[in-house]
């Protein structure tokens, strides 16, 4: 690393300091400046994604060990402590002394020399007060830190609320859920243990699950090509997808560049295009289509014969769809801005897919910032938009045609409740099928499933 190249930890602090509410985009912008090794890029990514997922837990630990927990920390000091605590508590490959030293040096570089002693003292106290990583069943206790499925550490004093007395507070602190979502999941799950299982999935590093582009290759050929490139992979339990044993730089894989694979969850996403029942020669409308994952899947299932109109709200989103279509060889797709949809003839399409924006509560492991945007007001606004998009997509389906609605949410208002309300208001469509997939497989990448929902309506 040159003297002018920032460290992964500095990149992480700058990304987490983003005040516009899009840490992920800020990280990508910072990494896009170049100059970092692949190892440093991977570390920066891990620090940012991990600290964002675990923000609630890191805040709880920080408060427990600060002499003045309500004191507002200046500048980037809070982010420096988050990065330091994340390394101490969740990354076994980073020695404690290195995490503490780097955090102190960061405080000095970020003009917090006077507070560097606070950083040093807090991190060293936490490091002394927590056990090494343990494996086995994770107890629900105020002194136990859940690290992952079957992995935990124990503090030498209570850090989290007592789960028997304050289960919501426990979920918020120990499992890093926002209060509104913790309340909902406790009510819907019916038990703290089941809510914890959902939260554990949401806090995992998600595996890279790949759809094989059947227009160009087969699953066995992809597995062989990955093995030749030194990438360990195996079939997913669904029998069609491939999952990598370790994370890899997707753009560095020849199979990705050559359009043989596309990241796509094994069930919650992959089954949606299948629910459309696309056939060769059909005319299909794909609403909210970016980045084109389901669009290109539809093209594969149609044997690249027929027509797909992929719609989204900005030219940047359309460019992403077009890029993925070109890479995967989906030649039957044309893109259209949402503002131009009014020019389409009503009842023109054999089928339409409305894969709508949502709260993303089924994919929190992948959408690390989504949980921190969740509240009841945002949910209600999203449901209103979803109703509009579903009705708009249905307007273009011909009599007897098929309309599919899908989300990456597991909240009833965005799923079954909305689907049934739509059929009550519609004089054309009736609900013929629906499926809610709850997040599962946190302990085994080959059985990993994101959460999501789809509903099928017949015109």
Query: Which runs of consecutive H residues, i.e. helices, occur in 129-205?
Result: 167-174, 179-189, 192-202
- b/e per residue, 123-145, with b = 16+ CB within 10 A? beebbebbeeebeeebebbbbbb
Q: Within a domain: residue 2?
A: no
pLDDT at 354 over 90: yes
Percent of the chain with pLDDT over 90: 86
- What pLDDT was estimated at residue 69? 85
| Domain-located, residue 97 | yes
**Reported pTM:** 0.94
Whether residue 391 is found in the same domain as residue 430: yes
pLDDT single digits (tens) 416-432: 999 999 999 999 999 99
1 vs 130: which has the higher pLDDT: 130
290-337, pLDDT tens digit by residue? 999 999 999 999 999 999 999 999 999 999 999 999 999 999 999 999
Q: Predicted confidence band at 211 (pLDDT cuts at 50, 70, 90)? A: very high
State pLDDT tens for residues 43-101: 999 999 999 999 999 999 999 999 888 888 888 999 999 999 999 999 988 899 999 99
Domain interval for residue 241: 209-263
Pair 145, 13 in one domain: no
Same domain, 429 and 395: yes
Same domain membership, residue 368 and residue 334:
yes
Antiparallel, parallel or unpaired: β 261-263 and 242-244: unpaired
Residue 65: φ, ψ to 5°:
-110, -5
> Where a domain ends, among 263, 280, 306?
263
Burial of 401 (0-12, 13-18, 19+ CB in 10 A): buried
pLDDT at 67: 86
Which of 28-42, 134-148, 164-178, 363-377 is the least confident region?
28-42
Q: Is residue 1 part of a domain?
A: no
Average pLDDT over residues 238-242: 92
Q: Is residue 3 part of a domain?
A: no
Residue 430 and residue 346 share a domain:
yes
Q: Yes or no: say if 56 and 176 are a contact pair by the CB < 8 Å rule.
A: yes
Q: For residues 90 and 51, is the Cβ–Cβ distance under 8 A?
A: no
Same-domain status, 97 and 188: no
Residue 28 main-chain phi, psi, to 5 deg: -60, -40
Q: How many CA atoms lie within 13 A of 260 on its CB side?
A: 18
Residue 21's pLDDT is 64
C-beta pairs of 318-327 under 8 Å, 24+ apart in sequence:
318/290, 320/290, 320/291, 320/292, 321/289, 321/290, 321/291, 321/292, 321/295, 322/292, 323/292, 324/262, 324/291, 324/292, 324/293, 324/295, 324/296, 325/292, 325/295, 325/296, 325/299, 327/257, 327/259
- For residues 430 and 300, what is the distance between their CA atoms, to the nearest angstrom? 27
Provide the pairing of β-strand 233-235 with 242-244: antiparallel
Per-residue pLDDT, 355? 97
Contact predicate 88/123, CB 8 Å:
yes
User: What confidence category does residue 179 fall into, taking pLDDT thresholds of 50, 70 and 90?
Assistant: very high
pLDDT of residue 19: 62
Say yes or no: 320 and 411 in one domain: yes
Does residue 346 sit in the same domain as residue 363?
A: yes
pLDDT at residue 258 greater than cutoff 60: yes
CA dist 316 and 304 (Å) reads 24
Q: What is the mean pLDDT of residues 399-428?
A: 97
Query: What confidence score (pLDDT) does residue 20 get?
Result: 63
Does the residue 392 lie in any domain? yes
Assess whether pLDDT exceeds 60 at residue 1.
no
Q: What is the pLDDT of residues 356-366, one digit of tens each?
A: 999 999 999 99
Q: What's the confidence (pLDDT) of residue 249?
A: 82
Rounded to 10 deg, the angle between the 23-31 and 8-16 helix axes is 150
Least confident interval from 17-31, 90-104, 144-158: 17-31
Looking at the domain assignment, is residue 235 inside a domain? yes
As given in the structure block, the two tokens for residue 441 are 């497989």
226: pLDDT strictly greater than 50: yes
pLDDT at position 147 over 50: yes
Here the CATH number for the domain that contains residue 440 is: 3.40.50.150
In the structure encoding, which two tokens stand for residue 191, read together?
């038990």
Query: Where does the pLDDT of residue 17 fall: very low under 50, low under 70, confident under 90, or very high at 90 and above?
Result: confident
Query: Are 66 and 121 within one domain?
Result: yes
In order, the DSSP letters of 337-372 are EGGGGGGSPTT-EEEEEEE-----TT-TTTSTTGGG
pLDDT of residue 99: 94
Residues 115 and 144 in one domain: no
Q: Could you identify the residue written with the tokens 């098929």?
A: 402
Same domain, 115 and 49: yes
Residue 219's CATH number: 3.30.70.1170
User: Could you say which of 128, 152, 177 is where a domain stops?
Assistant: 128
**Residue 252: predicted pLDDT:** 85
- 383 and 427 in a single domain? The answer is yes
209: three-class secondary structure by DSSP: strand
pLDDT for the residue 2: 45
Which residue intervals of 203-336 are DSSP H helices?
Answer: 219-228, 254-257, 270-276, 293-301, 315-328
For 235, the token pair is 């079939």
CATH number, position 45: 1.10.940.10
The total number of structural domains in the chain stands at 4
Nearest to 194 by CA among 424, 438, 431, 22: 438
Distance CA 244, CA 293 (A): 18
DSSP of 32-56, one letter per residue?
TT----HHHHHHHHHHHHHHHHTHH
Q: Which residue, of 202, 230, 255, is where some domain finishes?
A: 202
């Amino acid at each position: 690393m040159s003297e002018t190249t920032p460290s992964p930890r500095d990149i992480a602090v700058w990304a987490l300091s983003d005040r516009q509410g899009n840490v992920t985009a800020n990280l990508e912008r910072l990494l896009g400046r170049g100059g970092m090794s692949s190892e440093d890029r991977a570390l920066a990514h891990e620090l940012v994604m991990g600290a964002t997922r675990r923000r609630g837990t890191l805040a709880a630990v920080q408060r427990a060990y600060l002499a003045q927990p309500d004191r507002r920390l200046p500048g980037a000091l809070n982010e420096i402590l988050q990065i330091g605590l994340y390394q101490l508590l969740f990354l076994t490959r980073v020695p404690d002394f290195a995490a503490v030293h780097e955090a102190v040096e960061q405080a000095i570089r970020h003009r917090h020399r006077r507070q560097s002693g606070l950083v040093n003292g807090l991190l060293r106290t936490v490091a002394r007060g927590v056990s090494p990583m343990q494996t086995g069943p994770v107890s629900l206790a105020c002194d136990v830190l859940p690290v992952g499925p079957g992995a935990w550490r124990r503090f030498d004093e209570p850090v989290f609320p007592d789960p028997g007395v304050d289960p919501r507070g426990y979920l918020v602190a120990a499992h890093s859920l926002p209060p509104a979502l913790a309340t909902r999941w406790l009510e819907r799950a019916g038990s703290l243990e089941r809510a914890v299982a959902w939260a554990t999935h949401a806090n995992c590093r998600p595996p890279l699950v790949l759809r094989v582009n059947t227009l160009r290759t087969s699953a066995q050929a992809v597995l062989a090509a990955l093995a030749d490139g030194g990438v360990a992979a195996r079939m997913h339990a669904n029998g069609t997808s491939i999952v990598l044993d370790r994370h890899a730089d997707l753009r560095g894989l020849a199979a990705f560049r050559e359009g043989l694979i596309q990241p796509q969850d094994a069930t919650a996403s992959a089954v949606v295009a299948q629910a459309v029942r696309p056939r060769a020669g059909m005319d299909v409308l794909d609403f909210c289509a970016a980045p084109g994952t389901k669009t290109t899947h539809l093209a594969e299932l149609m044997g690249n014969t027929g027509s797909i109109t992929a719609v989204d709200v900005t030219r940047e989103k359309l460019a992403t769809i077009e890029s993925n279509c070109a890479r995967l060889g989906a030649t039957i797709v044309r893109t259209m801005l949402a503002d131009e949809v009014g020019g389409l003839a009503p009842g023109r399409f054999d089928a339409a897919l409305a894969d709508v924006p949502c709260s993303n509560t089924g994919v929190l492991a992948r959408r690390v910032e989504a949980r921190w945007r969740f509240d009841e007001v945002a949910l209600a606004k999203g449901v209103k938009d979803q109703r509009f998009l579903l009705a708009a997509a249905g307007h273009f389906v011909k009599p007897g045609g098929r309309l599919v609605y899908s989300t990456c949410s597991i909240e009833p208002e965005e799923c079954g409740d909305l689907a049934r309300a739509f059929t009550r208001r519609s004089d054309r469509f009736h609900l013929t099928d629906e499926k809610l997939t709850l997040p599962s497989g946190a302990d085994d990448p080959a059985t990993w499933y994101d959460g999501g929902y789809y509903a099928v309506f017949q015109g």
